[in-house]
Structure 1
Amino acid sequence: KTESNLIKIGSAIELRLMVIGSSGPSQFLLTNAILGRKEFTKDLTSISSSLKNTGELAGRRVMVVNGPNIYDKDISRVKRKVEQRKSKCLCIPGPHAFLVAFDMEKISPNDMNTSRLMKQRFGRQCVRHSMVLLAYDENMQDTELEDKVLKTDWHLRELIEKYGGRFHVFNKNWRDRSRDRELLQKIELMVASLGGGYFSSRTFQKAEDSVKKEEKRLRKQRASEIEKVWSTMENHYVAEELTSLARGLGTGLVVGAVMGALFGSIEGPGGMVLYGVIGGAVGGSAGGTAQVAIEKCVFTLVCSTCVVQ
């Protein structure tokens, strides 16, 4: 699926990157390298829950999703399926690129089969949106890296061919930023060659539908809670007192409180306070007792919304 201005460097559109690991620490080292910070320790080899992090790569806003390694033996089959669904939900409506990380010095038979398992879990076309990322140690020179990948190591060449020949090498030391722009350009070029959009499949569409359904449920729940709070306020202040408040303050502040409650259910406490203030500005100021009463009501609404969230 397409998004406008996707391939423009520095675009306001955030690149969604799903980092895949076969085994070991490579995918976590890659995330550190992309974000330019120590998000994971260098000896980490497994995580039990999918995670999302944001940052910048060569000036481009990126969102990076990590999940358990494909061959992680420390989690159950059921847990693995749960985390697969979670990682998809974290990356909806779909990733712009899959970055598949390996240690270039430790290519295993399992690594060679990673593309097959990716197709099963994310969709048959996901490999077209994928790139191999090879981790290397600091002491290797650029010429050594190129020779190793393209000339001397047939395992690496065979692995890279499974992903359309697309690859990039990155330093295990995340402080080395010398290859950031090259990596970003490779990702953007791959995305542009596929129409400038993000990857989507039936599994990602199901994840997006599930998230939207849950958002709708939460909105209804919040609206219901706000309605209960408002009803309590109405019962607390009899009709005569509300009429007196409206006369003293002007209808603006009362309406502002109502608007604050409604918009707060969608936008959080900030929206509630904002519209309460707007109402106050419209209605003007008034007598002390009535003012304290309204402020108490608004405070109650804000606290209730915080609890709902």
Structure 2
Amino acid sequence: MPKRAGFGDVELRILVIGSSGTSQFLLTNFILGREEFSENVYSITSSQKNVGEFIGRRVAVVNGPNMYNKDLSKTKMRKELRRSMCLSCPGPHAVLIVFDLEKISPNDMKTPKLVTDKFGENVLNYTMVLLVYDGHLRGRELNDKVMRTDWHLRELVEQCNGRYHVFSKNWRNHTGNRELLHKIERMLQAMGGHHYINRSYKRAEDSIRTEERKLRKKKNSEIKRTCRELEEQFRGDELRWQMDNYNARIGAEIRDKAELQNSRLRTTLAVGLGLGFVAGAAMGMIVGSVEGPAGMVVGGAVGGVVGGASGAAAQLAIQHLDDRVGSQTANFNAAFINRFFRAPPV
């Protein structure tokens, strides 16, 4: 049964999806109340998760690359969408698709369909259109512009069950942030208070939990040693507080790391190996056919081995390139620092 999204201590998980430009990164700044992304960031090459508070509510915001980023290969884009899924496990409470109100393009009309293709048919029940705006219209006039004047914008909003919210390009202007939180909460209440989940999210969560067990096993001796040291230093309520704090910190550290390195994200290597083997075997059989049936068998076997190695090498090359353009370690460190070491707001 999916975890119920109570409005107390449960961390609100928000998946932010952008089509182009700076809009999704301005929204992340708006929600977190800090400049996580500079105003000249148009896209990122590796999905990121940042944590903070939104109107007193603990929140985790996951950003992936812009959906139409032409600088990313299809392989890289698929991997990053899968990574953003892992970072928002066990499932997002809200999916926010972000556009610039003044720059809606024909491509943008396809975004809800792309989101359902990548995250499942029912994801639009948890989805809202967010519109960044820096004009003079307010209130009823702005609502009329969204729902009556621009038919393409109205159709875009209707694909998300009529849910939308407008926020300012000046993300430091917090007007409307409480209204956005209330809209998200109402959307969740309409879905019975449950976060979004489907088979893909279930598989991703299972993979993360398996990785968590492996990481905890590796840290087991360190954890036991630290607990003994705490028992030697503290007593009574202070000891319980120190132990709870340490266990929470280690648990979050392991979870953050497992979200960024688990079997769901390592499957591309196996796919590359399999595709390379098939392609190599086919080519080997074609070449071997010159020598007759026996040559086809030998050529197919040799070609499969060579092709499989090539496919694996290509996937490893992609992985190394991914690591260079978007470090997983950096993302983990950012999430860990955000969670425990960020200075409190003033």
Q: TM-score, normalised by structure 1?
A: 0.72
Corresponding residue number in structure 2 for 1:282? none
Shift of 1:276: 4.4
Corresponding residue number in structure 2 for 1:274? 230
Shift of 1:25: 1.1
Corresponding residue number in structure 2 for 1:96? 93
C-alpha separation in 2, matches of 1:103 and 1:5: 30
Corresponding residue number in structure 1 for 2:64? 67
Paired residues of 1:99 and 1:130 also in contact (CA < 8 A): yes
| Among candidates 86, 100, 108, match of residue 83 of structure 2 | 86
Query: Which structure 2 residue ranges, 5 or more long, are not aligned?
Result: 236-256, 258-346
Corresponding residue number in structure 2 for 1:178? 175
Report the CA distance shift for 1:150/1:199 in structure 2 as closer, same or farther (over 3 A). Answer: same
> Which amino acid in the other structure matches residue 275 of structure 1?
E
The answer as to 2:19 corresponding to 1:22 is yes
What value does the CA root-mean-square deviation take over the aligned residues? 2.0
C-alpha separation in 2, matches of 1:100 and 1:50: 15
Q: Deviations over 1:124-153 (max 9, x none)?
A: 111111000011015443343222112211
The answer as to 2:34 corresponding to 1:37 is yes
| Among candidates 160, 163, 169, match of residue 157 of structure 2 | 160
Report the CA distance shift for 1:263/1:195 in structure 2 as closer, same or farther (over 3 A). Answer: same
Shift of 1:219: 2.3
Give the length in aligned residue pairs: 236
Q: 1:119-130 residue pairs with structure 2 within 5 A? A: 119-130=116-127
The answer as to 2:187 corresponding to 1:190 is yes
Q: 1:1-309 residue pairs with structure 2 within 5 A? A: 2-4=2-4, 6=6, 8=7, 11-137=8-134, 139-223=136-220, 226=221, 261=222, 263-264=224-225, 269=226, 271-277=227-233
Query: Which structure 1 residue ranges, 5 or more long, are not aligned?
Result: 227-260, 280-308
C-alpha separation in 2, matches of 1:201 and 1:14: 19
Paired residues of 1:2 and 1:195 also in contact (CA < 8 A): no
> Which amino acid in the other structure matches residue 212 of structure 1?
R
Report the CA distance shift for 1:96/1:222 in structure 2 as closer, same or farther (over 3 A). Answer: same
C-alpha separation in 1, matches of 2:12 and 2:223: 33
Shift of 1:91: 1.1
C-alpha separation in 1, matches of 2:4 and 2:25: 30
Q: Deviations over 1:160-214 (max 9, x none)?
A: 0111111111111111111011100000000000010100111111111111111
SS of corresponding position for 1:113:
helix
Paired residues of 2:24 and 2:99 also in contact (CA < 8 A): yes
Report the CA distance shift for 1:41/1:210 in structure 2 as closer, same or farther (over 3 A). Answer: same
Report the CA distance shift for 1:67/1:262 in structure 2 as closer, same or farther (over 3 A). Answer: closer
Q: How much identity, in percent, do the aligned residues show?
A: 51
Shift of 1:37: 1.4
Corresponding residue number in structure 1 for 2:283? none
Larger helix percent: 2
SS of corresponding position for 1:273:
helix
SS of corresponding position for 2:219:
helix
